[in-house]
């Protein structure tokens, strides 16, 4: 397989980390008393300052995940393999937002944006050398194999850079190609036990795309991973991302049509299917509303089932009730779907708590602008504000 140069995204990672949710709502000056203020501004003022009864979470979901970044990287850079073993022993535990320790561990090595910013020419070789030592001498060679493949993927994207394809130098393409090939070789030569880890396949999806594998082959990788763990969310997230129209998708709804079909398996309960649906749709549609004339046009173009989307968000929030961020996501997307019942359900789950750094403004001002809009359109929602 040859490596295509038709890549124009800034990164491709196993976790496919995307920007946090940011709402571009109308500005509001809370200090003005001018009678010409917008109705939204008046409603924000009515909620009070600092918005009576609402309490910010001290930590966002990402803060809990990022707490483990340095211990994992230090475990590699300093060859303290017992530290890494401790994380592997916790692989199936979850952070408050439902992210597993497993996916976070691998994502640290594969995520282009996380570890390549500080002297990569120094640290990449050390990470690689010590991961190889851990593979050869440690308790978890299988994990080390997948981590090595993830790191090769990261190194490839580092050399390629984050610009459009026509800005990449010949040297950049060559180093990209050689490191992607090393990632693939690592996965091909991995032990049979590595193929029992669902993340083996989640990472291989990205490598396959970078190697210009036919979409049918990439879908087979997904199916193999789904047979290992049909609930492993990075499999669905990565595959749906690759099937967006900017990559391998043939239409704006290709990824969604695939998602619905992929959930037609007997190994998943209906609640699990809805949860996966809500999780993936939320990642695919966030940031996309502005590409369409109305939110409803976005749902229709991508053929998203709004009711199922809301059920999925509700299921996700109820399963991971300690999450700070997902309650806000639920409110936001329920508002976009104009689903009053879902809005009220989401507000109940919020229980007057919010995450300021998910919203623009020092104190999350846009969150309260959104609440004001909701209250104006759906008066019944006020009792949950």
What pLDDT, on the 0 to 100 scale, is given for residue 39?
45
What pLDDT, on the 0 to 100 scale, is given for residue 89?
97
Confirm if 366 and 25 have CB atoms less than 8 A apart. yes
Antiparallel, parallel or unpaired: β 353-354 and 55-56: parallel
The CB density around residue 352, as the number of other CB atoms within 10 Å, is: 13
What pLDDT, on the 0 to 100 scale, is given for residue 4?
38
Query: Over its length of 385 residues, how does the chain's per-residue pLDDT go in tens digits?
Result: 333 333 233 333 333 333 222 222 222 333 333 333 344 444 444 444 445 788 899 899 999 999 999 999 999 999 999 999 999 999 999 999 999 999 999 999 987 655 555 677 788 899 999 999 999 999 999 999 999 999 999 999 888 987 888 999 999 999 999 999 999 999 999 999 999 999 999 999 999 999 999 999 999 999 999 999 999 999 999 999 999 999 999 999 999 999 999 999 999 999 999 999 999 999 999 999 999 999 999 999 999 999 999 999 999 999 999 999 999 999 999 999 999 999 999 999 999 999 988 988 767 889 999 999 999 999 999 999 8
Confirm if 142 and 193 have CB atoms less than 8 A apart. yes
Confirm if 180 and 207 have CB atoms less than 8 A apart. yes
Rounded Cα gap, residues 233 and 280, in angstroms? 8
Q: Give, rounded to a whole angstrom, the gap between the first and last alpha carbons of the chain.
A: 56
Rounded Cα gap, residues 205 and 287, in angstroms? 23
Give the pair of three-digit tokens for residue 84: 């890494």
The CB density around residue 262, as the number of other CB atoms within 10 Å, is: 22
94, β-bridge pairs: 100
Q: From the CA atom positions of the chain, what is the Rg in Å?
A: 22
């Amino acid at each position: 397989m040859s490596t295509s140069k038709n890549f124009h995204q800034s990164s491709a990672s196993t976790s496919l980390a995307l920007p946090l949710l940011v709402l571009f709502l109308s500005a509001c000056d809370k200090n003005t008393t001018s009678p010409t203020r917008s109705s939204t501004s008046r409603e924000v003022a009515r909620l009070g300052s600092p918005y009576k009864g609402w309490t910010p979470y001290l930590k966002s979901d990402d803060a809990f995940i990022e707490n483990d970044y340095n211990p994992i990287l230090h475990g590699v850079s300093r060859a303290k393999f017992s530290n890494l073993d401790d994380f592997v022993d916790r692989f199936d535990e979850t952070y408050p937002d439902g992210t597993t320790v497993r996916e976070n561990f691998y994502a640290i090595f594969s995520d282009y944006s996380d570890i390549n910013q500080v002297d990569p020419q120094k640290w990449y070789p050390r990470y690689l050398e010590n991961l190889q030592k851990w593979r050869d001498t440690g308790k978890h060679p299988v994990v080390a194999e997948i981590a090595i493949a993830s790191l090769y993927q990261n190194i490839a994207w580092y050399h390629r850079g984050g610009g459009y394809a026509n800005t990449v130098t010949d040297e950049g393409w060559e180093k990209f190609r050689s490191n992607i090939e090393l990632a693939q070789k690592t996965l091909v030569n991995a032990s049979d036990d590595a193929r029992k880890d669902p993340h083996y396949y989640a990472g291989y999806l990205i490598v396959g795309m970078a190697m210009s594998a036919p979409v049918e082959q990439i879908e087979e990788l997904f199916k193999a991973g789904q047979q290992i763990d049909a609930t492993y969310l990075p499999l669905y997230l990565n595959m749906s991302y690759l099937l967006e129209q900017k990559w391998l998708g043939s239409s704006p709804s290709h990824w969604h049509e695939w998602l619905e079909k992929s959930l037609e398996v007997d190994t998943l309960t209906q609640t699990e299917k809805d949860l996966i649906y809500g999780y993936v749709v939320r990642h695919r549609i966030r940031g996309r509303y502005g590409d369409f004339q109305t939110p409803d046009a976005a749902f229709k173009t991508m053929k998203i089932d709004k009711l199922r989307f809301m059920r999925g968000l509700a299921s996700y929030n109820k399963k991971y009730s300690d999450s700070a961020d997902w309650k806000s996501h639920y409110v936001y997307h329920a508002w976009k779907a104009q689903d009053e019942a879902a809005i009220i359900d989401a507000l109940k789950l919020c229980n007057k708590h919010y995450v300021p750094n998910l919203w623009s403004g020092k104190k999350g001002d846009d969150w309260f602008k959104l609440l004001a809009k909701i209250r104006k359109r759906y008066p019944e929602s006020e009792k949950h504000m």
